[in-house]
Amino acid sequence: MKPLVAIVGRPNVGKSTFFNRMLGERIAIVEDLPGTTRDRLYGDTDWNGRTFTLIDTGGLEFSDIPVGQVGLNGQPGDLMDHVQAQAELAIEEADVIVFMVDARSGITAADDEVAELLRRSQKPIVLAANKADSAQRRQDAVEFYRLGLGEPIPISSIQGTGTGDLLDLIVEVLPPAADELEDEEDDTPRIALVGRPNVGKSSLLNAFLGMQRSIVSEVPGTTRDAIDTEFIFQDRKIRLIDTAGIRRRGHIGPGIEKFSVLRSTRAIERCDVALMMIDASDGLTAQDTHIAGEIHEQAKGVVIVVNKWDIAQEQRRLERAEQYPTPEEEIENAEAYRETLAEGLKFIPYAPVIFASAKTGYHIQAILEAALHITEMRFLRVPTSRLNEVVRDAVRRHNPTTVRNKHLKIYYATQARVNPPTFIFFVNDTEAVHFAYERYLENRLREAFGFKGTAVRMQFRPRSSKDSTHA
């Protein structure tokens, strides 16, 4: 799990310029205008062997401007509240906070207010005095000692001076690397609840815990202040990784869309199976697809949970002024919805779809049963002899496609690891492997061994034909 480092400060102190320099590309929009950055941006970077996720936040500006009115900086009051909620959420999630100030303008009242907020967070804080573009400004940066947050590090995000010293200090106060690793000997299935805000993650978590015989414990997760819940289901201990934030301190305002992707991403990193929740009333959205893509990229198990199915059916009835659908009609509705999901999520055709209602308890038990079955599939080991029988039969049924006058020969295959199931195919030329034939082989493995609900990784390595028998 990569630590989070949030860049915070008042507007127009150079947070986005620093963010772009650290990531080596222009991701954040940079203009010499206050309030340009409104939502959080994030990206991974590394320094001295440590990788961490950097978060660029909107400028913190405290104001009593009523909703609908415009402040001196030209920003509506309601938008300023939203930006502040975004930044405060980043502070709450972060492992380390970089407090950026402007060395040219010196300490302002807004800096004092941000400093007070950060002191209450009780997080490690690194003070960066940006725009220290000359020797005189670097010397003047000492005045920021008065903020009471330690030694200010003078930097110039544009010139790049001082950023190495700043990164050294960030890495120094990051959580120990050992804290980022899960206990590999713990075989407790780890199930993450992921999805957009307001799709019912909190309700589903409560439904799970309400139906179980006993809660084992609440254990700290690898994300700072995150709490995982362990409980017993069908005589099996399960660990739930919650991304809904119901156990986090403080109030999180509505409309926090972009950051929910990062929160889901971090939960996906830690889980064996992700319960990807979709609001039945909204249908599949671009953010749903983004999260599903992250699950696939990380080769995790996945159950697509279409939540609020009862509400969607009620809406359908009201729109058409019909009676409640018969069981047959509900099946037809579900199949039509399933086809729509299959079209939008072509890259995870192996994912089971469960229509549920966290509120009423409809299909709640089926979700956990599916997740446990997928966990078993992720740890399934296939005997090498049986694996190669399946591969030989697949080749006999359908010869490999010739790619750029190169004919693929598969000598043999072996399973390299589990969780996720990973197979290595030794071939004559890796450039002769066509993606369509790779997909064909994956489908044959799924037909023979299952692997429902989990990604399967396949690797192709070169091997001389005289060293082995052709499959």
* pLDDT tens, residue by residue, 145-200: 999 999 999 999 998 899 999 999 999 999 887 544 444 456 899 999 998 878 88
Reference 364, options 211, 229, 199; nearest CA is 211
Helix ranges, 326-468 (H): 327-344, 364-378, 384-397, 435-449
Domains contained in the chain, CATH given: 4-179 (3.40.50.300), 182-378 (3.40.50.300), 384-467 (3.30.300.20)
- Count of C-beta atoms within a 10 Å radius of residue 21: 19
Neighbours of 238 (CB within 10 A): 22
304, 356 in Cβ contact below 8 A? Answer: no
Residue keyed to tokens 């037909």: 447
Q: Given pLDDT bands bounded at 50, 70 and 90, which one contains residue 315? A: confident
What is residue 26's predicted lDDT score, i.e. its pLDDT?
A: 45
Task: Provide, rounded to the nearest whole percent, the portion of the chain with pLDDT above 70.
Answer: 75
Distance CA 15, CA 123 (A): 19
- Please provide the average confidence, as pLDDT, over all residues in the chain: 80
Band (356; pLDDT cuts 50, 70, 90): very high
What value does the CA radius of gyration of the chain take, rounded to a whole number of Å? 26
Q: How many CB atoms lie within 10 A of CB 182?
A: 14
Q: CA-CA distance, 167 to 22, in Å (whole number)?
A: 9
> Residues of 423-454 as b/e, b for ≥16 C-beta within 10 angstroms?
bbbbbbeeebbbeebeeebbebbbebbbbebb
pLDDT on residue 80:
44
Helix (H) or strand (E) holding 260: helix 258-270
Could you tell me the pLDDT band of residue 333, with boundaries at 50, 70 and 90? confident
> Looking at the predicted structure, is the pLDDT value of residue 429 above 60?
yes
DSSP string, 58-86: PPP----PPTT-B-TTS-BHHHHHHHHHH
